[in-house]
């Protein structure tokens, strides 16, 4: 009985102590002005962590939060006292698989957070990396833990052939809610196997094509000259043969005429 009485007295004492505090908090909330969002940009990222900019303005007529909670905010007028803030946003936490092909000796820099870390702070997130060696995949069972000294990024400088594989980044916020997952599949080729410099390859391709076209043009000119020479040779041979036949015909005709005159006499 004494234990029950002591408990009741303790509860009553706590209520008496908390009642003035509750009243003060309610009065402060009643006097606090209300801000409304008048403009908001789209999220800076289509997947994973992003940042959007919001413009907040105070309501006119000195309405407080308590008064506006009772009335409707439809058609409410806002004052010119506004401020701009940046807030986190997540459209989708899955960013899929991205691939890249590099040659051995190059530098590979994989950034997991980017602009969000710069805007929201380095220690607002929990980042973990996993790695599937030698293959490009999204199968969870093939990944093992990967220690990234820079936490938010993986830098391979220089990249080696044995660094090929899939690197996966998982990001959680302060409440351990997953906000981003992205995979990078990296192919590493030995030096000299393939030229990944597009402009250089294009120039080399154009140079080779021009050389081939020049060779074909030279061959065409050569065959044209040869054909013309052959035709001219045949033409000259035909003319010479015609002249020879004509000469023989003339000689034969003269002999026949002489024989004919001799017989007549």
Q: Check whether 113 has a pLDDT greater than 70.
A: yes
Tell me: the pLDDT tens digits for 45-60? Answer: 888 878 899 998 887 7
Query: How far, in Å, CA of 178 to CA of 175, rounded?
Result: 9
Q: Look at residue 156 in the predicted model and tell me its pLDDT.
A: 92
* Cis ω before 40 (30° cut-off from 0): no
**What are phi and psi for residue 105, nearest 5 degrees?**
100, -15
| Segment 79-98 mean pLDDT | 86
Domains of the chain (ranges; CATH) run 31-92 (no CATH), 94-189 (2.60.40.10)
Q: What is the DSSP string of 83-99?
A: EEEEEEEES-SEEEEEE
Tell me: the pLDDT tens digits for 175-188? Answer: 888 888 999 999 99
Q: Which of 165, 158, 155, 156 is nearest to 187 (CA)?
A: 165
- By the 8 A CB rule, do 185 and 101 touch? no
Q: Which of 105, 196, 102 is nearest to 158 (CA)?
A: 105
Tokens of 115: 């602009």
Low-confidence winner among 68-72, 119-123, 213-217 (lowest mean pLDDT): 68-72
Q: Check whether 71 has a pLDDT greater than 70.
A: no
- By the 8 A CB rule, do 38 and 55 touch? yes
Tell me: the pLDDT tens digits for 130-151? Answer: 999 999 998 999 999 998 888 8
* Sheet architecture: strand order including 49-59: 35-40, 49-59, 78-90
Question: In this structure, which long-range contacts are made by residues 110-113, counting pairs with CB atoms below 8 Å and at least 24 apart in sequence?
Answer: 110/153, 110/154, 110/155, 110/167, 110/169, 110/184, 111/152, 111/153, 112/152, 112/153, 112/169, 112/171, 112/180, 112/182, 113/49, 113/152, 113/153, 113/171
| Cα dihedral 160, 163, 166, 170 sign | negative
- Report the predicted TM-score, pTM, of the whole model to 2 decimal places: 0.53
- By the 8 A CB rule, do 146 and 165 touch? no
Q: Look at residue 59 in the predicted model and tell me its pLDDT.
A: 79
Query: How far, in Å, CA of 255 to CA of 240, rounded?
Result: 23
Q: Look at residue 91 in the predicted model and tell me its pLDDT.
A: 86
Query: Looking up tokens 């899939």, which residue turns up?
Result: 166
């Amino acid at each position: 009985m004494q234990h029950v009485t002591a408990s009741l007295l303790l509860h009553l004492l706590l209520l008496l102590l908390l009642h003035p505090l509750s009243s003060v908090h309610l009065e402060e909330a009643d006097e606090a002005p209300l801000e409304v969002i008048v403009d908001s940009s789209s999220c800076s990222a289509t997947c994973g962590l992003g940042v959007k900019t919001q413009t907040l303005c105070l309501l006119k007529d000195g309405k407080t939060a308590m008064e506006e909670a009772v009335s409707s905010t439809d058609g409410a007028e806002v004052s010119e006292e506004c401020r701009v803030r940046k807030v986190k946003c997540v459209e989708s936490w899955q960013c899929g698989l991205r691939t890249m092909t590099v040659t051995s000796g190059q530098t590979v820099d994989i950034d997991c957070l980017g602009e969000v870390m710069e805007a929201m702070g380095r220690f607002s997130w929990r980042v973990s990396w996993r790695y599937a060696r030698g293959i490009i995949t999204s199968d969870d069972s093939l990944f093992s833990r990967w220690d990234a000294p820079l936490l938010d990024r993986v830098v391979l400088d220089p990249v080696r052939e044995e660094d090929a594989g899939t690197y996966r980044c998982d990001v959680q916020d302060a409440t351990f809610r997953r906000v981003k997952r992205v995979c990078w599949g990296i192919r590493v080729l030995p030096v000299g196997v393939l030229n990944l410099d597009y402009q250089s390859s294009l120039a080399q391709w154009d140079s080779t094509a021009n050389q081939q076209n020049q060779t074909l043009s030279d061959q065409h000119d050569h065959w044209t000259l040869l054909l013309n020479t052959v035709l001219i040779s045949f033409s000259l041979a035909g003319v010479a043969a015609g002249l020879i036949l004509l000469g023989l015909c003339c000689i034969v005709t003269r002999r026949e005429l002489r024989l004919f005159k001799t017989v007549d006499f």
